Chain A
């Protein structure tokens, strides 16, 4: 490992701990976050030149603390307000979990929760987050700064949420981690490589959370879901970035170690903890992962799991996936009938996934002309270039003469 990589690793690990320590002491998330960013910049300049300090975290806390008091001395009136701020009680709470709860504050939009979590908990720089989300650095800096102001205005504090809100807040945290994972997982190639690193960040953060809360079945379920989904990464795209559907993937390229860990995690959670949607999604991914060939997939089991998932308020995408499972178990006509009942859902009207599933089922039902029409409709509706390319190829395969290419 190069010195720079080693220093970056140290900083990434120490930054959230330093931030948590400062927020615990001074109580003001926005100011502490700015101070830690300044300390990180100082470290990035000084450490390669002067060597890494013995206590990287202590160094960051000292430097950031000095920046904080400098700022507050410069603003005497503000400093007095800070002293009046009651420091939060500190018994028996875990700092990084509290930091996650704060970054996923309900007053923020998911996009802001993601940006703030990546910076304050994952320790990414604003420039890295901006690159991953394809916006100018100034725009991302502005979003993060507004997110901190919003938390402050909403009275967000560095303390565990009240017991009554804990379940809801925990769901928000897991959702943000899931969204970060998905941003990286759906990345294909080329300019998306920076985004792909988000997958590793999400897994790392969820792994840390699982270490803190080993008895939480949904945390274990989410970690398992991420591992089982990420296990397919090498097989899900061709070298040119085009998509390979699950049924056609080269399963020898799936990551066996990640599958083993994911299956063990979800099995443990299902046996010991109350059932939840992430565990169910992980269980579905595990059934796929355990089939040596696509035709060996235990579809009746997958269908049962989707039915259970719908009981947890699955949403339209879960229903679409259930239609695919129904078609595998009871034939394509049964799947198409289920699709018709979903047409009325406003969230699905004109959605490319609905048309893509319909096209797939029509093709299976032996209706190539109608299937081609649906593939083309799906290709027009998607805003993803790799999906459009895949769907157009499906349409062209069914009616080469009428190819729109």
Chain B
């Protein structure tokens, strides 16, 4: 079963971390990524640039147009994702529980990925 781990965090909180704390965050991420590569569960993942660099396309005053800034005006912003292929949902949650962002005010949303396969009804 494939899952997306959608990572949200508050960039200001992360910026305020000490060097030591930042190293710990990177260390945690490295350890999990290595484990997922070795287990063959990793499907993909990306970290996104700072939300202040985002452009958002939406419909405004009747026309679809791009404006500066992220989609949602919130402290927590979408920061990146991890795509994994795990035997169970419990395993996907276990990975999310170890990810560093929630320890620093962020959150991870775990969502199953839709598949093209379907069974006869």
Q: Using a CB–CB distance below 8 Å, which chain A residues touch chain B?
A: 109, 111, 133-136, 138-144, 146, 183, 186-192, 195, 232, 236, 241, 243, 245-246, 356, 360, 383-388, 390-391
Contacts and interface: CB of A to CB of B under 8 A. Distances in A.
Interface string B88-121: 0000000000000000000000001111111111
Contacts, number: 83
B37 A142 contact: yes
Which of B40, B115, B119 has the most CB atoms of chain A within a 10 A radius of its CB? B40
Given A133-B85, A146-B38, A186 B117 contact: yes
26 contacts: A111-B87, A133-B85, A136-B42, A136-B44, A139-B37, A139-B43, A142-B39, A143-B40, A146-B38, A183-B117, A186-B117, A186-B119, A187-B117, A188-B117, A188-B118, A191-B116, A232-B120, A245-B120, A360-B121, A384-B115, A384-B117, A384-B119, A385-B116, A385-B118, A386-B118, A387-B119
Interface in B57-83: none
Contact of A186 (B44, B113, B114, B118): B118
Nearest to A360: B121
Contacts of A192: 116-117
B94 to A, nearest CB: 15
A109 B87 contact: yes
Which of A109, A241, A386 has the most CB atoms of chain B within a 10 A radius of its CB? A386
A190 B116 contact: yes
A385 B114 contact: yes
B110 to A, nearest CB: 13
A302 to B, nearest CB: 15
Determine the main DSSP class of A at the interface with B: helix
B114 A384 contact: yes
Contacts of B40: 135, 139-144, 146
A195 B40 CA distance: 19
Given A111-B87, A139-B42, 7 more contacts: A142-B37, A144-B40, A146-B40, A188-B116, A232-B120, A383-B112, A390-B121
Contacts of A232: 120
Q: How large is the interface on B (under 10, 10 to 19, 20 to 34, 35 or more residues)?
A: 20 to 34
B116 A390 contact: no
A232 B120 CA distance: 10
Nearest to A243: B118
Given A139-B42, A146-B38, A195 B120 contact: no
A132 B55 CA distance: 36
A385 B120 contact: no
Nearest to B38: A142
A141 B38 CA distance: 10
A175 B58 CA distance: 49
Nearest to B44: A136
A146 B39 contact: yes
A281 B73 CA distance: 55
B113 to A, nearest CB: 7
B67 to A, nearest CB: 29
Contacts of A190: 116
A387 B118 contact: yes
Nearest to B115: A384
A135 B44 CA distance: 9
Contacts of A390: 118, 121
Nearest to A110: B87
B83 to A, nearest CB: 9
Question: 7 tightest CB-CB pairs across the interface, nearest first?
Answer: A143-B40, A386-B118, A142-B40, A186-B117, A384-B118, A139-B40, A387-B118
